[in-house]
Amino acid sequence: MPEPIMPKPDDPRLTTRLAGLDQDGRPVAAQVVMERPLTLFLNGQEIVTIMTVGDYPEYLAAGYLINQNMLRGDDEITAIDHDPEVEAVVVRTARTTDFEQKLTRKVLTSGCAQGTVFGDMMEKFDTVVLDPGARLHTRWLYSLLKAVNTVPSLYLAAGAIHGCVLCEADRPIVYMEDVGRHNAVDKIAGHMRLNGIGPDGKYLYTTGRLTSEMVIKTVQMQLPILMSRSGFTAWGVELARRAGLTLIGRVRGRRFIALSGVERIVYDADPGVAPDEPRGAGRKAGVADDDRD
């Protein structure tokens, strides 16, 4: 089994220390996340400039194009060239793409940072059939939460970051962070595509809100289960029900709420033996108790 991909909070490119004052007026040095632009090109056309923490630019670029439906499933990616000097990444394909029409759409989702183009994301939404036989065991859930919440991360080091985790059974296998949750999930989509990882037996965990954007991207990645520490939007729930996606939110300790696809949940663990989280523990995993993220 390949080694899981985990955050790299010690990477000096991702954070910096800045001087300031605390509440008592005393000098302090705060660890803060870096935020830098990354301009994405598809073949010879500039597509978008993304504000990102800067790690895994190749995965981010491929995942963004995939989740915007600018790359189809049968498009062959021949090269991805990243130039850190000019802060740009170029994705090259074997055949000409039809992205020009997509650039005319201007409706943005509620994603933090620049958001994403809603119309493009919905193109194949109703054609995706999610695995009806997929299951989520509650005994996996409790083990997974412990693993995710205790792994060293950029959030624990500096805050101001979102996380998305590709999971299998009770294991996190790809954990991506970024200043926007849409960037984090795009990195996972890119990693799956470039490494030939299919959706079978996989599901997605996020520290961010369960919005329409997160639901649409999860469905496009053909992952049948999406869960979060945070809460829901009504449109996100409606889309999840429409797609048959299992949607689980407010996952903290022994508690969670499922609002869609409940038939995939296998209740095989006693929640009474799972540790509950004290109020305030959510801040240690990337989300405040009141879901403001």
Q: Which has more confidence, 101 or 13?
A: 13
Q: What is the tens place of the pLDDT at every residue in 204-216?
A: 999 999 999 999 9
**Is pLDDT of 130 > 90?**
yes
Chain center to CA of 116: 13
Q: Is 252 helix (H, G, I), strand (E, B) or coil?
A: strand
Residue 274 predicted with pLDDT over 70: no
CA torsion sign for 283, 285, 288, 292 is: positive
Between helix 181-194 and helix 212-220 the angle, nearest 10°, is 0
Quote the pLDDT of residue 285: 41
pLDDT band for position 272 (50/70/90)?
A: low
- In sequence order, the β-bridge partners of residue 50 are 38
**Percent of the chain, pLDDT > 70?**
84
Q: What is the mean pLDDT of the chain?
A: 87
- Please choose, from the candidates 159, 157, 156, the residue with its C-alpha nearest in 3D space to the C-alpha of residue 179: 159
How far is it between the farthest Cα atoms of the chain? 61
DSSP per-residue codes, 139-177: HHHHHHHHHHHHS--HHHHH-S-EEEEEEETTEEEEEEE
Residue ranges in the chain assigned as alpha helix (H): 57-67, 99-102, 118-121, 138-150, 154-158, 181-194, 212-220, 234-243
**pLDDT digits over 5-37, tens only?**
999 999 999 999 999 999 999 999 999 999 999
pLDDT of residue 109: 47
pLDDT of residue 116 exceeding 80: no
Domain boundaries, the chain: 1-293
Confidence at residue 101, expressed as pLDDT on a 0 to 100 scale:
56
- Of 11, 2, 4, 3, which is closest to residue 161 (Cα–Cα)? 11
Average pLDDT over residues 57-81: 94
Give pLDDT tens digits for 150-198.
899 998 888 889 999 999 999 999 999 999 889 999 999 999 999 999 9
DSSP state of 25: S
CATH tag for 1-293 (out of 3.80.10.10, 3.50.50.60, 3.40.718.10, 3.40.140.10): 3.40.140.10
pLDDT band at 95 (very low <50, low <70, confident <90, very high): confident
pLDDT value at residue 1: 60
pLDDT of residue 292: 38
Q: pLDDT value at position 106?
A: 44
What's phi and psi for 188, nearest 5 deg? Answer: -65, -40
Instruction: Compute and round to an integer the Cα radius of gyration of the chain.
Output: 19
- The whole-angstrom distance between residue 56's C-alpha and the CA centroid of its chain comes to 13
In terms of C-beta density within 10 A (0-12 exposed, 13-18 middle, 19 or more buried), how is residue 234 classed? exposed
